[in-house]
Structure 1
Amino acid sequence: MPRGEIFFDQRPRKRPEQLFGREKEVEKLLRALNAGSWVSILGPRMVGKTSLALAGANTFARNNGYKVIFVDLRDTETFREAAEKILGRLPKSIIDTLSEYLSEVSASAKGAGFSIKLKKSVSAKRALSDALFKLNNTILILDEVQSIHQGIRHFLRALGSAFNENHSLLVIFTGSYSGVVKKLFDATYGEALFGRPPIEIRLAPWKETVAEQFLRTGFKRLGIEYQDWEIREAVRELGTLPGWLNLYGVKRYIEKDHRLALKTTIDEAVKEAARELEHLLEGRSPKARAVVKLLALGASWRDMAQTGISEDTLSRLLSTLSEGLFIVQKDEDAGVYYFTDPVYRRAAMRLSLSP
């Protein structure tokens, strides 16, 4: 079978027709870009943020004579590191104009762009601002921007200057709502972006009917024999985040065995979800960890308050888990909060009470 016909793919999708069940979100992203707005695509890991960003940006670029620059900011903790990584993905013609800021320029070991090092005496904010000002008709995708922990204010000020001075530059941010991306909207950081927060697109997990149809469609296209109970079990055990279901589809295509594909997918998914929960709990008290563990079994407000966590802190934590990550919901009749996502439920049960 030709490689281009594969339905399940662990790499991000780059065209709208490759996305499944995200037509409304693609349309909203294109409307925002056409309006000259910057955009933040928010949601939990594996929900398809990067795919939506790339598919929408590539469509807009193709129709409007723009180019797309994608920067993966995972494992980038400081603004200076982020600035160097962004600069390294810019066209060589722009990098050549920035020599006063650079101490090293070499081919990237990963084969994409350049490896850049700023001079120690140079301001990263000034170097990035200068570079962004020179980008014409460009969509800059800053993927997983929540990884940046140090220098956020300088980062946002550089972006704010670019927003004001370079009207042909569009930026798409992707990241977890529970991470630093949220600071783009916080009042504390409003000044840095000159009071012009990006348009929000929050990606929620699929509905069960969409998740099941995704698997059925893929299996039929690839000629994979399946039973309906296998589809239902996969969705019940993995939830409806597209990334987990896509990974299961890849493994099912390769292994031709439902049980083996499901088990290995669950193992990988729980590890990734545990990392996301650890990131969410970073810097929080052990009381917040205790709350998350209680939620794995379902807990009332009173149950969670008995950990000693303050009402305000508990309210903000639940808001992040429900409105930001879409993984916690409240049963209004029973008054119980619980994880709606089975992978995160498993990950929460395995959390230790100390970091």
Structure 2
Amino acid sequence: MYFDERPKSSRKDLYDMREKLEQLIAALNRKDPLIVIHGLRRIGKTSLLQTAMSEVEHGIIFDLRTLGTRAYSTKKDLVEIFESGINDFLSRKKTIRMKIIDVLKHVTGVQVEGIGVTFSWGGEEPLDIAGLFKKLDRWALSGKTNISIAFDEAQELRKVAGIGMDKILAHVYDYCKATSIILTGSAVGLLYDFLGEGDPESALYGRSKTEIRLKRLEPEEAEDFLRKGFKQTRKRVEDELIQDAVRKLDGITGWLTTFGATCLKKGVSASVIRNVMNEGSKLARREFENFLKGREVARKRYEGIISHLAKGPSTWSGIKAYLEVKEGKRLNDRKVTELIDALVKAGFVESIDDQYTISDPILAYSFE
């Protein structure tokens, strides 16, 4: 059902993603070593990933989204995510679960607990992360199959202190021949920083990758999505309301899904759009607040840029002039560029035809 607000895991519930899904599954079947899925927040990356992983033989997902609420993360945080992802994988592999556990128990820092495993993050024998991936790869090779390992919102790996996940993934890329690595990211610029784009000193620099980009729906597609979603639930909705929802929520599938789901719960009315915008703005602002963690010195300037862009698109010069008027002093050009670039890399702002605009209409609404 299109209006299920949880990430989808079946292709029948995906709207207009058949081409992207087939592209992803084909890359996994080819054993492409590195696959990158990127796009705006709430555009459907997790749904695409979960659906593909449900159709391949062996897929593990590590959900890194919880790390996005912190300025910095520890090895303990990451190891707990790995433990959860591996145990979820084991729970879905009932017929071969004990064989996999028998392989994993030989990894330093892994303890067998019944039909699952626990990982150590400290002490004398912390989890050997590279060893974990190598053992899984050897298990896949011995069975003449392949394994897909996904990191959802992979830019968060940059925050983890003292591990160097870029080096570990470079090692997996080079030596684990039965393993495909999938990285998804909403903060596209930060994701590509992690991948070492333009940095020859980075561990992952120069590695070939298969890229899959998800875009927002065009207005006609967004209207079609809503009409088909309401048809699935036998709800009749006037075209005028659908068009108004698309104007205000743009082609971001997540917000359109929330609008449809809210109509099913509370009834179809124009007030639902405002309700979705009000509730959604709380989530969008919380995500922006997470971005500001560790950037407190420049908080007012980042907020100033978003407040300015909430009124409409602006050029670099327009943003600089606004900040200078607001602060009553001249600002260094390089500093202004750094501020804008940080917002673009984090996915809150995008550049279109030499003008900057807020990527998410709900974030813009929250600053009006």
Q: Same fold (TM over 0.5)?
A: yes
- Structure 2: which amino acid aligns with 1:345? A
How far the C-alpha of 1:102 sits from its partner, in A, is 3.1
How far the C-alpha of 1:242 sits from its partner, in A, is 0.4
| SS of equivalent residue, structure 2 residue 124 | coil
Query: Which residue in the other structure is 1:68 paired with?
Result: 59
Q: TM-score, normalised by structure 1?
A: 0.80
Query: Which residue in the other structure is 1:302 paired with?
Result: 317
Query: Which residue in the other structure is 1:57 paired with?
Result: 53
Is 1:37 the counterpart of 2:29? The answer is: no
Is 1:165 the counterpart of 2:175? The answer is: yes
Q: 1:152, 1:196 → 2: CA distance?
A: 23
Is 1:146 the counterpart of 2:146? The answer is: no
Is 1:118 the counterpart of 2:121? The answer is: yes
Is 1:82 the counterpart of 2:78? The answer is: yes
Is 1:132 the counterpart of 2:133? The answer is: yes
Query: Which residue in the other structure is 1:199 paired with?
Result: 210
How far the C-alpha of 1:326 sits from its partner, in A, is 7.8
How far the C-alpha of 1:55 sits from its partner, in A, is 2.1
Q: 2:358, 2:291 → 1: CA distance?
A: 15
Task: From the superposition, tell whether residues 323 and 130 of structure 1 become closer, same or farther in structure 2 (CA, over 3 Å).
Answer: closer
| SS of equivalent residue, structure 1 residue 200 | strand
Q: State which of 13, 16, 20 in structure 2 corresponds to 1:21.
A: 16
Q: 1:35, 1:245 → 2: CA distance?
A: 34
Q: State which of 214, 226, 229 in structure 1 corresponds to 2:237.
A: 226
| SS of equivalent residue, structure 1 residue 134 | helix
Q: 1:80, 1:198 → 2: CA distance?
A: 29
How far the C-alpha of 1:88 sits from its partner, in A, is 3.9
Task: From the superposition, tell whether residues 214 and 152 of structure 1 become closer, same or farther in structure 2 (CA, over 3 Å).
Answer: farther
- Structure 2: which amino acid aligns with 1:174? T
How far the C-alpha of 1:254 sits from its partner, in A, is 2.0
Query: Which residue in the other structure is 1:181 paired with?
Result: 191
Task: From the superposition, tell whether residues 152 and 210 of structure 1 become closer, same or farther in structure 2 (CA, over 3 Å).
Answer: farther
How far the C-alpha of 1:321 sits from its partner, in A, is 5.3
CA deviation digits over 1:246-297, x for unaligned, max 9? 1111111122232343233212321222233234444442433322221111
Q: State which of 352, 357, 362 in structure 2 corresponds to 1:338.
A: 357
How far the C-alpha of 1:345 sits from its partner, in A, is 0.8
How far the C-alpha of 1:50 sits from its partner, in A, is 0.4
Give the stretch that moved more between structures: 75-84 or 316-325.
316-325
Q: Do the aligned partners of 1:133 and 1:166 also contact (CA within 8 Å) in 2? A: yes
Task: From the superposition, tell whether residues 199 and 289 of structure 1 become closer, same or farther in structure 2 (CA, over 3 Å).
Answer: farther
Q: Do the aligned partners of 1:329 and 1:340 also contact (CA within 8 Å) in 2? A: no
- Structure 1: which amino acid aligns with 2:184? T
Task: From the superposition, tell whether residues 89 and 326 of structure 1 become closer, same or farther in structure 2 (CA, over 3 Å).
Answer: closer
How far the C-alpha of 1:157 sits from its partner, in A, is 1.5
How far the C-alpha of 1:214 sits from its partner, in A, is 0.2
Q: Do the aligned partners of 1:145 and 1:180 also contact (CA within 8 Å) in 2? A: no
CA deviation digits over 1:60-80, x for unaligned, max 9? x1xxxx311122122233344
Query: Which residue in the other structure is 2:273 paired with?
Result: 262
How far the C-alpha of 1:147 sits from its partner, in A, is 3.1
CA-atom RMSD in angstroms? 3.1
- Structure 1: which amino acid aligns with 2:17? R
Number of equivalences: 330
Percent identity reads: 26
**Structure 2 stretches lacking a partner, 5+ long:** 68-72, 91-96, 141-145, 324-329
Task: From the superposition, tell whether residues 118 and 101 of structure 1 become closer, same or farther in structure 2 (CA, over 3 Å).
Answer: farther
How far the C-alpha of 1:215 sits from its partner, in A, is 0.2
| SS of equivalent residue, structure 1 residue 258 | coil
CA deviation digits over 1:160-199, x for unaligned, max 9? 2122221111121112225742312434486323631543
Q: Do the aligned partners of 1:211 and 1:240 also contact (CA within 8 Å) in 2? A: yes
Q: Do the aligned partners of 2:281 and 2:363 also contact (CA within 8 Å) in 1? A: yes
| SS of equivalent residue, structure 2 residue 150 | strand
Query: Which residue in the other structure is 1:7 paired with?
Result: 2
CA deviation digits over 1:83-126, x for unaligned, max 9? 34214432464455446633766589xxxx655333423354xx
Task: From the superposition, tell whether residues 185 and 19 of structure 1 become closer, same or farther in structure 2 (CA, over 3 Å).
Answer: farther
Q: Do the aligned partners of 1:57 and 1:68 also contact (CA within 8 Å) in 2? A: yes
Task: From the superposition, tell whether residues 181 and 225 of structure 1 become closer, same or farther in structure 2 (CA, over 3 Å).
Answer: same
| SS of equivalent residue, structure 1 residue 205 | coil
Query: Which residue in the other structure is 2:326 paired with?
Result: none
